[in-house]
Chain A
Amino acid sequence: MKNEDNTIKRVKKFNHDIVMKYLLMAVASATILIILFIIIFIFANSSGAIRDIGIIEFITGTVWKNSEGMYGAVPLIVGTLLVTFGAIMIALPLGLGTAVFISEVAPKRLRNILKPICEIFAGIPSVVYGFFGLVVLVPLLGTIFPDHLLSGTSWLAGSIILGIMALPTIISVSEDAMRAVPRSYREASMAMGATRWETTRRVVVPAAISGIAAATILGIGRAIGETIAVMMVTGNSPMIPEPLWNIFEMLRTITATLALEMPDAASGSTHYSALFLLALILMFIVLLINYVAKVVIKRARRKFGDTSGTSFTKKLPKLTYAVRIPKALWVIASVAITFTISAFLFNLLMAVVYSSFVFLISALLITVVFETAEKEKAKKEEKRPPRAKQHTILSKLMPNVMRSITLIAMFAFVWMMASLFFDRQTTGIIAFVSVIVMLASAPVGKKLGATIREKVAHGSLVLVMLIVVAILVVMLFDIVSKGLPALSLDFLLKYPEDRGMSGGIFPAIVGTIQLVVGTMMIAFPLGIISGIYLAEYSKNTRFTRIIREAIDLLNGTPSVVFGLFGMTALVIFLGVGIALIAGCITLAFMVLPVIIRTTEESILAVPKELREASLALGASKWETTIKVVIPAAFGGVITGLILSLGRAAGETAPIMFTAAAIYSSSISFSLLDPVMALPYHLYILATEVPGSTTMQYGTALVLLIMVLFMFGMASLARHRYSKNIKW
C-alpha cells in the first residue's frame, strides 16, 4: 500500500508520552516519600531522648545502662567503630590480596573458578555467618586464647566475622578497578623489563587506587550496618575495651543495641527514644561513609575518564603545595583544638574519639567545599608560567616521611598486640625487634633480585587466596556436613516441636516464601518503574537529583533501621501489629534501591543506536522503551530482581520486629498474621534453645540452599543474557 499522506500536523490530541512520563514520575517520587517517612519516624521517635537526656549528654555519656536509666552513647559508638576497624584490618589484606591474585596472577581458567567462589561469600545470609561464628569461631577462639577469653565472644570474634562478610565487597570492587586499568599500562611497564609483580605494585595498584579505596569504604559501610552476625559473637557488653586495643574484650555495637533492647523497650519511654536517637547516629555515620565513597568513586571516574591533568601521586589536580599546606594545617589545627578541649573537659579517650570525628568531618568538608574554589584557582594558575623545580626538597623528603610513618604505625600496632600477652619489657623488645626486621627486610629483599621478589610476592598472594578459599570451604563444609543429617522429609514438612528441639521447620520455609513473594509484589512494580523513569525520562534536574540522593540514602541505610521503621510506623503507628504485611513492606523498602539501580543501569547500558533506530521509524518514546529498550535490558533487570529477593530471604533484622513469629503451629495466609522465617528461626535456635545443634545446622543449610539457589539463578540469568546479546 502506498502512503501518500504528507501531513505532519499532530492528529492525536492525546500524547501518551507525556502521560506516561508523569505517571512514572509519580511512582518514582514514592521513593522520596518512603525516605521521608523513615527519617520522620525516626526523628519523631528520638525527640523524647533529646528532650529528656539532651543531645550533648547523649553523645558524651560513657555509661549505657538501661536498668539505671543511663543512656550514654559513647561505648556503643566506640564499639561500632572498633569492631569495624578490626574487620577492615582483617578484610583489607585478605581481600586486596585475593583481588590482586584474581586480576593479575591467576591464569584465566583459575580466575573463572575463583570469581564465582568469591560471589558465594556475598550470597551467604548474615545470620548464617553469625551462626558459624557462634558455633565454630567462638569456641575455637576460646581454645586458642584460654587465658584471655572466657568463652570466645569478643571484639576479635566480631571483627573476624565482619571481616569475612566484608570480603566479597572488597574483592569484587577492587578486582573490577584493577581489571579496568588499561592493558597498555601493563605492557608499557613490562616492556621496560619490570616483572609482573613490579608492574602490579607500581602501576596497576596505584592506577586503581581510587577503586580500591572505594571498595574499602563500601566494605566498611557493610560492616557498620551489620546487626545479627555481630550481635551473636561480640558478647554485647556495652563497655569500652581497656586498654582501648584489647581485642579480647567484649563490646557492643549500635546495631546490636537496637536489636537487643528494642523489643522490650516501653513505647514512648526515654529508653525507647534513646534507641531511636542511636539509630539516627548510626544513619549519620553510614551516610558520612557513603558520601566519602561517592567522592572517591567520582574522583576515580574523573581520572580515567578525561585527561584534565589529574595526577594520582598528587591527589588534587593542579595544586601547588602553597595551596595544599594551609589546608592540611587547617585540618591538623582543628583536630588539635578538639583534642585539647575534649581532653580537658572529659578524658583522653573521649579526646581521641572526638578528634577522629572532627578529622573525618573536616576532611570531608575540605574535599567538598574547597574543591570548587581550588579548581578555579588552578585554572587561573594555569595561565601563569609555572615555576620550575619548586618541590625538590619536599619531593625528596616525601618517601622518607611515608616510610617513617609506616614504621611508627607498625611499631605501635605490634606494641599494642604484644602488650595484651606480655609484660611491658617483653612487649617493648618484641615491638623493637619487629621494626628492626622490617627495616632489614628492605635491603635484603633488594639483594634477592626482582625474580625472587616476584616469586615471594606471588607466593604470598597464593597463600592469601588459599586462606580466603579455605574460610569459605570450612564454613560450607561445616554447615553442609552437619546439616545434611538433619535434612529429611519430616524436617522439611513438619512443625517444630518442643521449642524447636525436634520436629521440622515447615512453617519457617513457608513463611520465608510468603515474605519473599510479598516483598516481590510490593518492590518489583515500584522499583522497576522508578528505574525506567530515571533511565529514560529523567533529565538532570533538581528533582531527579533528589530522587537519586534518596535512593543512595536508602541503599546505605542499615537493615536494622528498616526494622525499627517498620516497627514504629507499621506495627505500632498504623496498628498492623506483628504481621506478614509489615515484614513485606519493610523488606520491600530495603530492597527497593537495589532494584531501582540495577534496572536503571541495565537500561542505560542499552546502546543509543537501538533507541534511535526505533525513534527513526516513528515510534513514540514510550513504545520505544517498552518494545525495544526493556526487552534488550531484560537480563540485567532480572538479575537485579533475583539478587534482591535473595537478600530479602536472608535478612533477619528487618523482620524480627515486624513479622517474625518464634513458633507457629499452623500456616496462615492472612496478611495480618505473623509468620515464621528461616533466618529468625535460626537466630532463635542458636541463641535461645541450647541443645538444638542438629536443628540449627539443618535450618542453616536449608536457608543457605534457598538463598544460594536464588543467587545461582541470578548469575545464570546474567550469563545467559550477556551471551545472547552483545553490544
Chain B
Amino acid sequence: MKSWMKVSAAILITAMICVPLTATVIGTDSHKLSVAGSTTVYPLMAELQKEFEKFANVDMNVSGGGSGVGVSSTLNGVADIGMLSRDLKEDEGGGQLVPHVIAKDAVVVIVNKNVGLPNKEAGIPDLTLEQLAGIYSGKYNDWGEVGGKAGQKIAVIAREEGSGTRDCFEAALKTVSGGFVAKERDVNSVNSTGAVLLSVQNTPGAIGYINLNVEIFAYPGITKVTVDGITATSENVQDKTYEISRDLILVTKGKETGMVKFFMDWILSEDGQRTVESSGFVRVN
C-alpha cells in the first residue's frame, strides 16, 4: 500500500474517533433543557423555544418521536419535558409524571363552497354537532338533509385512524345524545392536513376537518363552518363553549425544579401564552 494511503487512513481513523468525542464534550453545555414527544406539539414548542432562548440563557433541544417517546424519555430522564397531544393514559408513567396543560387546540369543520348551506351570522354557514355526528356516522348522505343543496351527495373526508385530530373530533361527536359510531365505508380518510384541504377543495359536496391553526386562504373553494352557531375563536375554545377541542400537554417527572420550573412558569406567563397564540393555538388563561 502506498504511504499516502497509510497516512490518510490513519488521519481518517483518528478523525473517526476524535470528532464524536469532542462533539460530545462540546455538546454538554451549561443550562440544558431537552424536550421530546408529540409531533403535533412540536411546531408550538419550536416557537416557544425561539422566544425562550431570547429570554433565558439556555440551550434547548427539542425532538419529536411522538407522544409515546415523550412519555418514556421523560420517565427515564433522557428528556426533561415530554410533549403529548393526548391525555396521559392511566397506566402510563406509573404516577411519576405530572401533566401541565399549556395550550388548547381546536378542530374546525370545513366544507366545499358548493354544498349550498345558507350563510348564518358573519357570512358563515352553520352545522349542529348532531348534524356532524349524523354525517360522520352515515345517517345523513345528502346535503338536503342538513339544510344544504338537495341532491348533492355528501363526500365525507376524515383523518386516518390514529390521528390526534380525528380522536379530538370524534370525542366531541360522542357527546351527542344517542352516541356516535363512525361510519367506515364511503369515508375518504387521508393522512395529512394538506390532503384534507386538497380533497375538500376539489371534491363537490365535501366536508372535512382541520386544526385551528391551519390557514385556508390558499384554498378559495373552502369555507369554515360554525358548530351550533359558535365560531372557533380563542375565547370560545378557552371557555369551552366551542366543544371540538383538546389540550396540549407537557409532562415532567415529579415536581419540576430549576430550569424546568422556570420554563414551565414562563410558558404560562403572559409572554409564553402570547407565543402560544401567535403560533395559532389557544391560550389557557
Bound-state CA distance A337–B86 (Å) is 47
CB <8 Å contact, A662 and B64:
yes
CB <8 Å contact, B46 and A266:
no
CB <8 Å contact, A262 and B64:
no
Chain B residue with Cβ nearest A631: B1
Q: Most chain-B CB neighbours within 10 Å: which of A153, A262, A579?
A: A153
Q: Does B170 contact A (CB under 8 A)?
A: yes
Bound-state CA distance A657–B61 (Å) is 16
Q: Does A242 contact B (CB under 8 A)?
A: yes
Q: Does B255 contact A (CB under 8 A)?
A: no
Chain B 196-214 per-residue mask, 1 if CB under 8 angstroms from chain A, else 0:
0111001100100000001
Contact residue among B69, B71, B77, B191 (Cβ-Cβ distance under 8 Å from A687): B191
CB distance from A260 to the nearest CB of B (A): 5
Interface CB pairs A-B, < 8 A, 15: A67-B170, A151-B195, A151-B198, A235-B160, A236-B189, A264-B68, A267-B72, A268-B91, A518-B20, A575-B78, A577-B78, A578-B69, A668-B61, A671-B23, A674-B63
CB <8 Å contact, A657 and B195:
no
CB <8 Å contact, B24 and A263:
no
For chain B, residues 41 to 90, give those with C-beta under 8 angstroms from any C-beta of chain A: 42-43, 46, 49-50, 61-69, 71-73, 76-79, 85-86, 89
CB <8 Å contact, B190 and A153:
yes
CB distance from A515 to the nearest CB of B (A): 13
CB <8 Å contact, B62 and A661:
yes
Q: Most chain-A CB neighbours within 10 Å: which of B71, B160, B203?
A: B160
Q: Does A713 contact B (CB under 8 A)?
A: no
> A665 and B20 in contact (CB under 8 A), knowing A231-B191, A631-B1, A687-B195?
no
Chain A residue with Cβ nearest B155: A150
For chain A, residues 562 to 609, give those with C-beta under 8 angstroms from any C-beta of chain B: 567, 571-572, 575-579, 581
Q: Most chain-B CB neighbours within 10 Å: which of A260, A263, A673, A688?
A: A263
Q: Does B184 contact A (CB under 8 A)?
A: yes
Bound-state CA distance A571–B76 (Å) is 10
Contact residue among B42, B46, B190, B198 (Cβ-Cβ distance under 8 Å from A139): B198
Enumerate the 6 nearest inter-chain pairs by beta-carbon distance, A residue then B residue, closest first.
A263-B66, A670-B27, A687-B192, A674-B63, A690-B194, A577-B78
CB distance from B107 to the nearest CB of A (A): 15
Q: Does B122 contact A (CB under 8 A)?
A: no
Chain A 251-267 per-residue mask, 1 if CB under 8 angstroms from chain B, else 0:
01000010011111111
CB distance from A257 to the nearest CB of B (A): 8
CB <8 Å contact, B194 and A571:
no
Contact residue among B27, B72, B214 (Cβ-Cβ distance under 8 Å from A669): B27
Inside 8 A of B187's CB, which chain A residues have their CB? 237
> A571 and B65 in contact (CB under 8 A), knowing A67-B170, A269-B91, A577-B79?
yes
Chain A 401-422 per-residue mask, 1 if CB under 8 angstroms from chain B, else 0:
0000000000000000000000
Q: Does A521 contact B (CB under 8 A)?
A: yes
Count contacts on B: residues with CB < 8 A to the other chain.
68
Bound-state CA distance A406–B202 (Å) is 41
> A150 and B157 in contact (CB under 8 A), knowing A260-B162, A578-B64?
yes
Inside 8 A of B23's CB, which chain A residues have their CB? 669-671
Q: Does B142 contact A (CB under 8 A)?
A: no
Q: Does B16 contact A (CB under 8 A)?
A: yes
Bound-state CA distance A665–B202 (Å) is 36
Inside 8 A of A579's CB, which chain B residues have their CB? 63
CB distance from B281 to the nearest CB of A (A): 13
Contact residue among B79, B191, B194, B214 (Cβ-Cβ distance under 8 Å from A260): B191
Number of A-B contacts (CB under 8 A): 203
Q: Does A719 contact B (CB under 8 A)?
A: no
Inside 8 A of A575's CB, which chain B residues have their CB? 73, 76-78
Contact residue among A252, A662, A672 (Cβ-Cβ distance under 8 Å from B42): A662
Inside 8 A of A521's CB, which chain B residues have their CB? 16, 20
> A263 and B69 in contact (CB under 8 A), knowing A235-B189, A239-B185?
yes
Q: Most chain-A CB neighbours within 10 Å: which of B19, B188, B194?
A: B194
CB <8 Å contact, A686 and B194:
yes
Inside 8 A of B1's CB, which chain A residues have their CB? 626-627, 631
For chain B, residues 75 to 123, give those with C-beta under 8 angstroms from any C-beta of chain A: 76-79, 85-86, 89, 91-92
- List 7 additional A-B contacts (Cβ < 8 Å) besides A237-B187, A671-B24: A260-B191, A578-B36, A578-B65, A663-B42, A668-B27, A674-B63, A687-B192
Q: Does A399 contact B (CB under 8 A)?
A: no
Q: Does B235 contact A (CB under 8 A)?
A: no
Inside 8 A of A670's CB, which chain B residues have their CB? 23-24, 26-28
Bound-state CA distance A670–B184 (Å) is 46
Contact residue among A261, A518, A572, A631 (Cβ-Cβ distance under 8 Å from B162): A261
Bound-state CA distance A153–B196 (Å) is 11
For chain B, residues 130 to 157, give those with C-beta under 8 angstroms from any C-beta of chain A: 155, 157
